[in-house]
Amino acid sequence: MLVAVLGLVTVWLILVLFYDVADRRLPLVLALASTYAAAAYLILPRAIRLGAHILNRGRVPAYTLTADGLPGDPVNLILTGTIGELRRVFALAGLTQADPLGLGSSWRMACAFVLNRPYPSAPFSTLYLFDRGQDVGFQRCIDDSPRRRHHVRFWGLSMERAEETLDTAAFWLASSRPAASERAMWVGAATKDVGLSLTHLSFQITHATDVDTDAERAFLVQELTEHGVIGPVRYHRPGERLTVGKVNRYVSDGLVAVADLSREPDDRLRPDGAVLNDVPVRSD
């Protein structure tokens, strides 16, 4: 409620002050566009972050945070290994590493989204965990459309830090990235994009996501298991159950899938991704 009140007060101030000035100096369309851009991407996010900071409860997170400080995607997957192993297993599973977010990649993504043309390595918006944006992300487009895709973001955590239990707040206070050669715990948030939507409160343009994040976690675990690139999967329940945020609505059982990455290429893999020997062969 505090964040909502701050948002409403901010919107009122924007309409009274910013739009009034813009309307006197610019044509109506440009005044509306500039008012929206200033509100959605400059003013409202800062007001929301202020409210979220005031409401900081020091709880163990079951989800990532958006740049506005609102709940983002749920944490639902953990893999252990080096960054090289992480990249290799997802390449074998047919997922492409996302391009870094920048002006060029954002423009390409916007054009691909509007024209519905393929962009297999499209960038991700930045979500935050351990007080930093994601270290790496992977995706697979659905029907070659940039509007629909399986995707997962990862944040690396050194194994020394990972010795602390996920149920304690201290686990989530790390902020430094692990070294490239270091074996690390990769904490992931996997969701499926299904279209276009606006974020609540700040009204920024973003991907709409499938409500069932458990299904997306199961999809990734199945893909990695079928390709023989992860070890046995076990499940861990975080210290608190996932609460529903205001950016996207999710339903989740709160479990986090945990597995080790394979250190060497699997001899059972054929070039087309099928698995030989005693493991069922994929039929695409």
Same domain, 187 and 234: yes
Q: For the whole prediction, is pTM greater than 0.85?
A: no
* 216 and 252 part of one domain: yes
The listed range with the strongest mean pLDDT (142-146, 203-207, 226-230, 234-238) is 226-230
Please check the confidence at residue 6 and state whether its pLDDT lies above 90.
no
Model pLDDT for residues 246-272, shown as the tens digit of each residue? 345 556 677 888 888 877 655 544 444
DSSP summary character for residue 264: S
**DSSP helix/strand/coil, 91:** helix
pLDDT mean across residues, the chain: 75
253 found inside a domain: yes
- The answer to whether position 280 is within a domain reads no
The dihedral built from the CA positions of residue 206, 218, 62 and 174, taken in this order, carries a sign that is negative
Residues 175 and 242 in one domain: yes
Residue 62 is classified by DSSP as: S
Tokens of 174: 């790390």
Does residue 254 contact residue 239 with C-beta atoms inside 8 Å? no
Alpha helices by DSSP H, 149-212: 159-162
pLDDT confidence of residue 174: 60
Residues 72 and 173 in one domain: yes
38 and 159 in a single domain? The answer is no
The residues near 107 (Cβ < 8 Å, ≥ 6 apart) are none
> Position of tokens 């519905």?
116
Based on the domain organization, do 34 and 80 belong to the same domain? no
Residue 106 and residue 121 in contact, taking contact as beta carbons nearer than 8 Å: no
User: Do 139 and 77 share a structural domain?
Assistant: yes
- pLDDT at residue 235, as a whole number: 82
271-277 contacts, C-beta under 8 A, 24 or more apart: 273/92, 273/93, 273/94, 273/227, 275/226, 275/227, 275/228
Backbone dihedral angles phi then psi of residue 196, each to the nearest 5 degrees: -120, 145
pLDDT > 90: percent of the chain? 23
Q: Which amino acid is at 92?
A: L
Sequence-distant (6+) residues with CB within 8 A of 65 are 52, 71, 72, 127, 128, 129
pLDDT given for residue 58 in this prediction = 44
pLDDT digits (tens, 9 = 90+) for 39-67: 776 776 766 666 655 554 444 457 788 87
Same domain, 25 and 148: no
Q: Are residues 226 and 102 in the same domain?
A: yes
Q: What span, in angstroms and rounded, lies between the C-alpha atoms of 208 and 249? A: 10
Please, are residues 104 and 272 in contact by the beta-carbon 8 Å criterion?
no
User: Domain of 185?
Assistant: 60-260
Angle in degrees, 0-180, between the axes of helices 2-13 and 44-54, rounded to the nearest 10: 150
For the four alpha carbons of 112, 118, 122 and 127, in that order, the dihedral sign comes to positive
Q: Which of 3, 43, 22 is nearest to 204 (CA)?
A: 43
Strand boundaries in 227-279, DSSP class E = 234-236, 256-260
